[in-house]
Amino acid sequence: MNRRDLIKGQATDVSPQLALGALNHPWAKAMAADFANDLEVLNYALTLEYLEAAFYVQGNKAVQLTGDEAKYLKQIQADEESHVATLTATIKKLGGTPVEAPKVDFGKAFEDRKSYLTTSHTFENVGVGAYLGAAGFLKDKGILQAAAGIFGVEARHAAVVGNLLGLPAKGGVFMGNTETPKTKEEVLAAVAPFLVKPGTEPVIPVGAPDTGAGGSTDSSTGTLLTVAGGVAVAGAAGALIARNRMTSRGEDADG
């Protein structure tokens, strides 16, 4: 797949092995304020997309939404899975090594409809800020254009969920006259509560659902991870939603 394919949102299937696994690079590596190259930005984005995709896979099974809410959240899940596939394939095509998915624990995010949608709204807005904050580090204009395409979809997701929550227009459905970029440190602080550090045992809520296809239990922690494997990228953010330095370089891919 070339860079034009990324812009068009087309990629080959991604195996569960690529979509799953424990993060094999110390979390501290992600704390640098900048990115050395485009591959580092792409791996940073990939890590966030892993988190979002796993969130919706688990949430759509755990929370019984109905009507348009169920329809929208399932479509958002498909979009996030497609972002994982697109970024993974692009990193490989450019000669990089895709970072592995982090261990996740979403705690009480799936207790009820409001908790699920509120956490979703938070994730999507973090994603918007993350893409905007990292955009200035991208050197390849084709990759920048593609990242802007994903940025736009994340913003639409946030608006759709904000509307489902009945939030006010400005400051809820959309956040202001312009979007605000987030630094890497700000993004990591926002998602840290949902990430399991290597060597620790997460607290899995009683009665947590079997997350299903693509799930994998890490033998060292017992953590159940899921990002649906084998997703083909299509125009998942189509009419339905319209209505509505963390890296793995080639030389240190083994940790």
Domain that holds residue 201: 3-246
Residue 190 within a domain: yes
Give the model confidence (pLDDT) of 235-245 as tens digits.
Answer: 222 322 233 33
pLDDT above 90 (res 213): no
Please give, one letter per residue, the 3-state secondary structure of the chain. Answer: CCHHHHHHCCCCCCCHHHHCCCCCCCHHHHHCCCCCCHHHHHHHHHHHHHHHHHHHHHHHHHCCCCHHHHHHHHHHHHHHHHHHHHHHHHHHHCCCCCCCCCCECCCCCCCCHHHHHHHHHHHHHHHHHHHHHHHCCCCCHHHHHHHHHHHHHHHHHHHHHHHHCCCCCECCCECCCCCCCCCHHHHHHHHHHHECCCCCCCCCCCCCCCCCCCCEECCCCCCEECCCCCCCCCCCCCHHHHHCCCCCCHHHCCC
pLDDT digits (tens, 9 = 90+) for 16-73: 333 232 233 333 344 345 799 999 999 999 999 999 999 999 999 999 999 999 999 9
Name the residue with higher pLDDT: 35 or 213: 35
In-domain check, residue 214? yes
pLDDT, mean over the chain: 72
Please state the pTM of the whole predicted model: 0.68
Q: How many domains does the chain have?
A: 1
- CATH number at 239 reads 1.20.1260.10
> Is 162 domain-assigned?
yes
Question: What is the per-residue pLDDT across 96-115, written as a single tens digit (0 to 9) for each?
Answer: 999 999 899 999 999 999 99
Is there a domain that residue 120 lies in?
yes
